[in-house]
Structure 1
């Protein structure tokens, strides 16, 4: 028996639901964040790629890839993640318009999955080209320590990772997902990350104390505003201190 035509949801002209468009740039970001969070929560392969991307970026910083090499690596990682997101969108659209088994639906899903595979293979090749020589140098001379990163560079990396982990925590622990409020407190995390950077950079006891006091005031302001509870603020502080200390310890 030949498969039937692809089913579709049809509405009489002028009677269908109006498309929901973002009314502001902030709402556009909320829609995009909701889509990314949905994909991370429901797609196992995307979670695996996301975790591998984090590990690869940490390794890239540890072996001191150049800025150009880092740019190539970031672009490659972005291509793989975008391919996974597009694959998820294609699967959702196909399931909506063709709930029954159909050859064209199968082809659409297989082609989208093939795009992910091509991007992943390309990423592996790029990774080999970028990491082979630095890793061989470290293995040949384990005692050789690459040149230290500047403190400003470490602070930038630590702050970026703090923001990334904060967003990941809000995505997994806060429902519905929102950037204002939720676990952990992003303001507290960034403030304590910067205070930790000031201390680890050797700014002296007085500047370190001022940084800690300011970070405490930022955390206290989130409590006063009613946007966070004590546990969310404390979790943000622990996250910021831990991430920044780890960056200075591992990459410094």
Structure 2
């Protein structure tokens, strides 16, 4: 009974700490001052759990990880009744991805041959091998939604998600705000109103300016492309030597 009471008491303490954390930071801080916890509800919950502990009653507890390592706002659907437009845009995005129709255009109509050539030039300067054969013979002619974004093999190999994870949002030493890769799937606040503006900003971000970051090796100054590492086959067995080193 004493052990059970200690567990229940710990649960009460955990709940109280969660309430304080929510109100002082985390989700509460992100959503702004409009989020106000109901004190009466919190008090009743705390009182109820303390009563259970005093009576020696059992309580079954479960938990799950609701965090996300990626920052893509279109990857997670939340409830946001204060802004009906959020529901509309998320529904439209889902409909487009499920049924792109005539908008399922070839990749090269979005990421153009000119953009690839500029990327290839950058890769040559830093000593990376050419991947033009993959571009010319495969990727440029794929339909961008059904054959690229929804390609399960690319997903299982993490060939798109891993580079995004590493460079999406980078915490920099000496400043409060992180540095974001120019993309619509993070909090980047620059002008991305045209494809050319996006590509110019992306290329500069990836290859020009070093960022001061903290890592397991200590404080480092790295250009974002230097943060990209080979994907570990032990963790992602779908990866092959060709896709790993080419």
Task: Identify whether the pair has TM-score above 0.5, normalized to the shorter chain.
Answer: no
Give TM-score, length-normalised by structure 2: 0.23
Higher strand share: 2
Query: 1 or 2 for the larger relative contact order (CA 8 Å, sep ≥6)?
Result: 1
Give TM-score, length-normalised by structure 1: 0.23
